[in-house]
A and B are shown apart, each in its own frame.
Chain A
Amino acid sequence: MLTCKKAIGEISNYLDGDLDVELKQVLEVHLGKCHHCHAVLDTTRKTIELYCDGKLFSLPDDVRTRLHEALRRKLQRT
């Protein structure tokens, strides 16, 4: 038997495929029965997906321009 606290503590390792076979099976049985823990698993997975797809923090044009100017100055000095 796995408590919800223990199950949630293993969700991150589960997503990374880092659990041994026995614990993985026990966790999957728990996830099949416990809607709360299943929701935590699903929404953690979705959280990771949002950040992977997010393309957060686009490079502003002025920052890019200053980078290339700094590189050209460096090139001229060498």
Chain B
Amino acid sequence: MSDSFRATLAKDEAALVTEAKAGSYAAFEELVNRYEKKIYRLGMNITGSPEDAEDVLQETFLKAFEHLPEFREDARFYTWIVRIAVNEALMKLRKRRASKEVPVEDSEDDEGAVTVREFADWKPNPEQQMARAELENILQNAIRALPPSFRTVFYLRDVEDLSTEETAELLNLSVGAVKARLFRARLRLREDLSKVFKRG
């Protein structure tokens, strides 16, 4: 996204927030329409569960609606709702951990060796050589197989494009822990995808 386009978008967003704070439900709904897909995706990527992702989506926008009067307009609305959504998604994970639905490997630490077994180049443009649905299935299965703490860091850093520092602050982790988890997440995803995409 170009800086000028981002600036235009941010300006529109600020105007919508001002109208929504003044009581316009239509303006709030426009903000929801703009970001609902991204927040659902965030919920799916972090929790790995459609039911939890739907709860994250609803809770995020219900809380945003309720707390809109407290929102400071010098911040970006999207950054604010991402923060709410990440907290909601982490709460879901904690609840599942308490009820032992989260696999034990979530306790995997950030140290220790990362095993790389696949050294082959990939076929060129693998995404163009298979049906969209098949590719999505492969990517979804690989990210779901990561421990939740790894896929959360991967999603925020590489898909949401948050900085290492922003991710660390949001997840209450050290910068070093974010980097270590990101490294492991990237390498493990790459290893899984290599089994499908490698040449020969």
Name A's B-contacting residues (CB within 8 A). Answer: 8-9, 11-13, 15-16, 18, 35-36, 39-40, 42-44, 46-48, 50-60, 63-64, 66-68, 70-71, 74-75
Contact = CB atoms under 8 A, between A and B. Distances in A.
From A11, A39, A60, A74, name the one whose CB has the most chain B CB atoms within 10 angstroms.
A39
B37 A9 contact: no
B61 A67 contact: yes
Contacts of A9: 114, 183
B58 A56 contact: no
12 contacts: A12-B186, A12-B187, A36-B119, A43-B193, A43-B194, A48-B158, A50-B139, A51-B158, A59-B37, A64-B36, A68-B29, A70-B58
Contacts of A75: 25, 65
Interface string B43-56: 01100001001100
Contacts of B40: 57, 59, 63
A50 B193 contact: yes
Interface of B: 25, 28-29, 32, 36-37, 40-41, 44-45, 50, 53-54, 57-58, 61-62, 65-66, 114, 116, 118-122, 126-127, 135-136, 139-140, 143, 154, 158-159, 164, 179, 182-183, 186-187, 189-190, 193-194, 197
A57 B54 contact: no
The SS class assigned to the A binding surface is helix
Tell me what chain B mostly uses at the interface: helix, strand, loop, or mixed: helix
A37 to B, nearest CB: 8
A39 B45 contact: no
Contact of A52 (B58, B143, B158, B194): B158
Given A40-B119, A48-B186, A75-B25, A18 B179 contact: yes
Nearest to B44: A57
B116 A8 contact: yes
B127 A53 contact: yes
B122 A46 contact: yes
A66 B54 CA distance: 9
Nearest to B157: A16
Contacts of B158: 48, 51-52
Given A56-B140, A67-B32, A71-B62, A51 B120 contact: no
B121 A43 contact: yes
B136 A47 contact: no
B132 to A, nearest CB: 9
Contacts of B122: 42-43, 46
